[in-house]
Amino acid sequence: MKDKGCSLNMLILMFMAMGHTSYGATEATNMPVSYALVFIMMLIILLVTIFKMHLKIKKLKAIKLELDDQNNILQYMASHDPITHLYNRGTMVEHIQKHLLMQEHKISYLYDIAITNLRLINDTYSHDIGNEVLKVVAKRLREAFDGPLETLGMDQMTFLAIESHTRSKEDAITRAYRLIEGLSEPIEVDYMEIDVLISVGISMAPDHSLDAKQLIKKANMALVESLNRGYKSVYYYEDTLYIDVIKRITLEKQLRRAIKLNEMVLYYQPKINLKTMKVDGCEALIRWHHPDGHVIYPNDFIPLAEDIGFIDDIGKWVVTESICQVKRWQSLGHNIRISINVSGKEFDDEFIEHIQQNIKIHNIDPSLLEVEITETAALKDLNHSRHLVQTLHDFGIRVSLDDFGTGYSSMTYIKQLKASKLKIDKSFIDDLDNMEQRIVIESMILLGKKLDYYINIEGVESKKQLMILKKLGVDEVQGWLFSKAILPEAFIEYVKVFDENGL
Ligand code: C2E
Ligand code: MG
Ligand code: MG
């Protein structure tokens, strides 16, 4: 370009020089011809320059258009979900905020809609099929939410929809149930019919919040609660939910520190052998001595520990502490067997290894430790449980099936497990005056014994129950009639007194 500009300038100078020379030489005749020539040259140069500029502008315009296109694509990608093409999380927050501002404190309902079996679909089929399902559900949602006062988008794996047509909570809930119905129609992908399970959480503006992020958070809390209530359910946000979540978060933090701070304590409930009427071991029951002075019982924190994946730490601590307790009692001259409760979520090879290691380290007789696993947990994966029970037995540790009878399991499966003891649940002896209950418990004991099980009955509270159970040939009992779960020092005192004086 520069070169061309240069040569053009040279050309002009040349022509001007030519004009000047001819003017000097033939002044009278040539003067007008030279001027005309220069003028034409100048015109050509001007036209060429204009033409060049025009080309440049055209090129710049094309580049700008291209950039605009690229910019639009980038903007679209940044604001939309790549699979469903709905607004993505960030944009949805903005849109919901705009929606709320435009409604000026009028009622709006926000629906958080989840495909609860999406992960299963991804795992069972493939992510491609999962994406197809997402697309179809998004399309169905677009059809369901297409009014001027409605906005639809995605928040991570759930769909968010806000609308301002519905006038009451009941109507919003009904709309959500209708959505579930419509969205749950089986989806055909690659000649397969795929069932989708939908759950919905609802929050409402202005009551629950006028801030988009808060409103989404509350619809999401409602969704989590609706998932807890089963498939195809709807939950409408309530403030108690918020308080529950705050409490849970606080409890979770405290629970994670509880072991380090020595706040977990094992209590021991005696087990009585009905043949010898002596204490024959005990069950370790965990309690959390909370720093605020309360004792928290396992049913109030074990499920939380299971949810947050902290149950392994608790379980391992229970193993180590029980083995140390066996050792401490041994040093006082008492050989007392301790049975520990193991949650289904921690009953695995690693856990058993932990037991074996600790028994070796502390050098105790393995038969002084027993493991209790609930019938329901054990039968979730029969083959694996059978392998674990066998490993424990081979190592010399007996396994009991806790809360027996509450899981309605088939006796065939129970027998395959090859555990040693059945701990029949307290609920079966609550009303022994009732003939039907009497027949049920008699049959359970009979069948258990026929299958070579040692029979324990928990929750014995009265002498009458004790007498009946003795007659029915029960091997072992435990319950408040004898003692609640107590601290180790009190337990040793109890053993001494009971073994000497009886009940
Ligand atoms: P479980 O193993 O079936 O324990 C029996 C429960 O019944 C215990 O409640 C015990 O205190 C209570 N109990 C005993 N005798 C009587 C009685 O005569 N009447 C009545 N009404 N109740 C009686 P606890 O200690 O609250 O434990 C509840 C459950 O928590 C246990 O049921 C067990 O499944 C679980 N658990 C306890 N400790 C642990 C632990 O260290 N780890 C795990 N994973 N779970 C534990
Ligand atoms: Mg138990
Ligand atoms: Mg039990």
For 43-55, how does the pLDDT look when each residue is reduced to its tens digit (9 = 90+)? Answer: 999 999 999 999 9
The average confidence (pLDDT) of the chain is: 90
Asked if pLDDT for residue 24 goes beyond 50, the answer is: no
Q: What pTM was computed for the model?
A: 0.68
* Ranges of each domain in the chain: 2-79, 89-237, 262-501
CB 183 within 8 A of CB 141: yes
d(CA 346, CA 251): 21
Question: Count of residues for the chain?
Answer: 503
Asked if pLDDT for residue 495 goes beyond 90, the answer is: yes
pLDDT value, residue 487? 98
Strands 234-236 and 369-374: unpaired
For 338-349, how does the pLDDT look when each residue is reduced to its tens digit (9 = 90+)? Answer: 999 999 999 999
Confidence of residue 9 (pLDDT cuts 50, 70, 90): low
**Quick one: which atom of ligand 1 is closest to the CA of 305?**
44
d(CA 353, CA 467): 41
Cα of 401 vs centre of ligand 2, distance in Å, is 9
Asked if pLDDT for residue 7 goes beyond 70, the answer is: no
Joined together, the tokens standing for residue 217 give 């958070």
Asked if pLDDT for residue 401 goes beyond 60, the answer is: yes
Cα of 265 vs centre of ligand 1, distance in Å, is 14
Asked if pLDDT for residue 27 goes beyond 60, the answer is: no
For 377-390, how does the pLDDT look when each residue is reduced to its tens digit (9 = 90+)? Answer: 888 888 999 999 99
d(CA 1, CA 132): 54
Q: Which amino acid is at 83?
A: I
Q: Give yes or no for residue 298 CB within 6 A of ligand 1.
A: yes
d(CA 42, CA 173): 81
pLDDT value, residue 90? 87
Asked if pLDDT for residue 233 goes beyond 60, the answer is: yes
Asked if pLDDT for residue 4 goes beyond 80, the answer is: no
Confidence of residue 67 (pLDDT cuts 50, 70, 90): confident
d(CA 435, CA 432): 7
pLDDT value, residue 19? 47
pLDDT value, residue 414? 84
pLDDT value, residue 142? 94
CB 42 within 8 A of CB 11: no
Query: Rounded to 5 degrees, what angle do the CA atoms 107, 112, 115 make?
Result: 155
Probe ligand 1: pick from 287, 289, 321, 341, max atoms within 8 Å of CB? 341
**Quick one: which atom of ligand 1 is closest to the CA of 423?**
3
CATH annotation of 262-501:
3.20.20.450
Q: Give yes or no for residue 458 CB within 6 A of ligand 1.
A: yes
Asked if pLDDT for residue 372 goes beyond 80, the answer is: yes
d(CA 287, CA 413): 32
d(CA 389, CA 347): 10
Contacts of 9 (CB under 8 A, 6+ apart): none
Which residue has its alpha carbon closest to ligand 1 atom 34? 341
For 443-454, how does the pLDDT look when each residue is reduced to its tens digit (9 = 90+)? Answer: 999 999 999 999
Instruction: Return the minimum-mean-pLDDT range out of 31-35, 177-181, 469-473.
Output: 31-35
Q: What are the φ/ψ torsions at residue 171 (nearest 5 degrees)?
A: -65, -35
Asked if pLDDT for residue 310 goes beyond 90, the answer is: yes
- Of the candidate CATH numbers 3.40.605.10, 1.10.3210.10, 3.30.70.270, 3.40.50.11260, the domain formed by 89-237 belongs to 3.30.70.270
Asked if pLDDT for residue 26 goes beyond 60, the answer is: no
Distances (CA, A) of 328 to 162, 201, 336, 362, 469: 63, 53, 10, 11, 33
Q: Give yes or no for residue 302 CB within 6 A of ligand 1.
A: yes
Q: Give yes or no for residue 501 CB within 6 A of ligand 1.
A: no
pLDDT value, residue 13? 53
Q: Give yes or no for residue 465 CB within 6 A of ligand 1.
A: no
Q: Which ligand is nearest to the CA of 482?
A: 1
CB 128 within 8 A of CB 184: no
The reply to whether omega before 303 is within 30° of 0 (cis) is no
CB 147 within 8 A of CB 158: no
Cα of 228 vs centre of ligand 1, distance in Å, is 24
Joined together, the tokens standing for residue 271 give 């087990």
Confidence of residue 2 (pLDDT cuts 50, 70, 90): very low
For 269-308, how does the pLDDT look when each residue is reduced to its tens digit (9 = 90+)? Answer: 999 999 999 999 999 999 999 988 999 999 999 999 998 8
For 103-119, how does the pLDDT look when each residue is reduced to its tens digit (9 = 90+)? Answer: 888 999 999 999 999 99
pLDDT value, residue 432? 92
DSSP-assigned states of every residue in 334-368: ----EEEEE-TTT-SHHHHHHHHHHHHHHT--GGG
d(CA 181, CA 158): 17
Query: Most confidently modeled of 7-21, 236-250, 465-479?
Result: 465-479
Query: Rounded to 5 degrees, what angle do the CA atoms 295, 300, 303 make?
Result: 140
Asked if pLDDT for residue 359 goes beyond 80, the answer is: yes
Which residue has its alpha carbon closest to ligand 1 atom 46? 341
Q: What are the φ/ψ torsions at residue 354 (nearest 5 degrees)?
A: -60, -40
d(CA 334, CA 491): 11
Rg (CA), the chain: 40
Q: Which ligand is nearest to the CA of 298?
A: 1
Q: Give yes or no for residue 344 CB within 6 A of ligand 1.
A: no
d(CA 322, CA 338): 7
pLDDT value, residue 230? 81
